[in-house]
């Protein structure tokens, strides 16, 4: 990964294939979210809180794999999901910095960049393309959502609706997986804290996160299917 500030002069000639941008997600099992997308994303993936390794701060994230560097929705060519987190849709672009210091950057090593790409940053007249404007909209949502997401996480902690969850899982081939460092919304605690959560939207987001934990079972099914498909390659006549 080679992330550099986006520069019109240096990058105006880049060609980008958005479909290949998703390849970067093939080795991502946990994708950070902003508050405004949690309810929608929770309909597809289990949503947990995780801790930033550097700051120790909690952040909401969609779980897409049951081991580090595993994405069970990646089929080798695309992500099999009706809804994707903004942090995947923005690729290969990034927001670096915060607030007035924020700027757009690009991963120059992304597999999405190459002569086969159908999208550009600027058109023949030098104006921003519709594709790049859509990317800016996504990056804008991520940037604008930072403060609201921190507020929501603070609310979860203040109302004590968060509990640590260890995923100790077994699969059909006898292999196991243990995921730690995840925190979910406790339905019982949420019920007790309802009167402390003044905003209806906040309550609905937390409820969506609590209900999304049931989708861990769907990840296990995907994992078992992947194991079976891989073992078929080593089975005589398979």
Taking the C-alpha atoms of residue 224 and residue 210, their distance in angstroms, rounded to an integer, is 24
Using the predicted structure, report yes or no on whether residue 235 has a pLDDT greater than 60: no
Rounded Cα distance between 98 and 202, Å, is 24
Torsion of CA 38, 71, 182, 192, to 10 degrees: 40
pLDDT the model gives residue 10: 87
Predicted structure pTM score: 0.90
* 215 neighbors 46 (Cβ within 8 angstroms): yes
Nearest to 208 by CA among 30, 71, 41, 91: 41
Give the number of other Cβ atoms within 10 Å of residue 221's Cβ. 11
* For range 165-185, the mean pLDDT: 93
């Amino acid at each position: 990964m080679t992330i550099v500030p986006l520069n019109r002069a240096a990058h105006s000639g880049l060609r980008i294939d958005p479909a290949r941008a998703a390849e970067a997600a093939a080795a991502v099992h946990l994708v950070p979210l902003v508050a405004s997308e949690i309810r929608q994303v929770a309909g597809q993936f289990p949503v947990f809180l995780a801790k930033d390794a550097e700051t120790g701060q909690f952040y909401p994230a969609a779980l897409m794999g049951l081991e580090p560097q595993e994405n069970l929705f990646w089929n080798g060519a695309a992500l099999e999901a009706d809804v994707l987190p903004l942090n995947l849709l923005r690729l290969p672009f990034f927001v670096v910095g915060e607030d007035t210091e924020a700027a757009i950057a690009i991963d120059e090593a992304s597999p999405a960049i190459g002569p086969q790409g159908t999208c550009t940053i600027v058109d023949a007249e030098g104006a921003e393309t519709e594709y790049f404007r859509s990317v800016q909209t996504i990056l804008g949502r991520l940037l604008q959502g930072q403060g609201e997401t921190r507020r929501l996480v603070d609310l979860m902690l203040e109302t004590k609706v968060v509990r640590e969850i260890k995923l100790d899982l077994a699969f059909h081939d006898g292999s196991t997986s243990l995921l730690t460092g995840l925190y979910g919304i406790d339905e019982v605690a949420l019920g007790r804290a309802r009167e402390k959560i003044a905003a209806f939207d906040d309550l609905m987001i937390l409820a969506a996160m609590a209900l999304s934990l049931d989708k861990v079972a769907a990840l296990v099914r995907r994992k078992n299917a992947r194991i079976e498909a891989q073992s078929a390659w080593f089975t005589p006549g398979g």
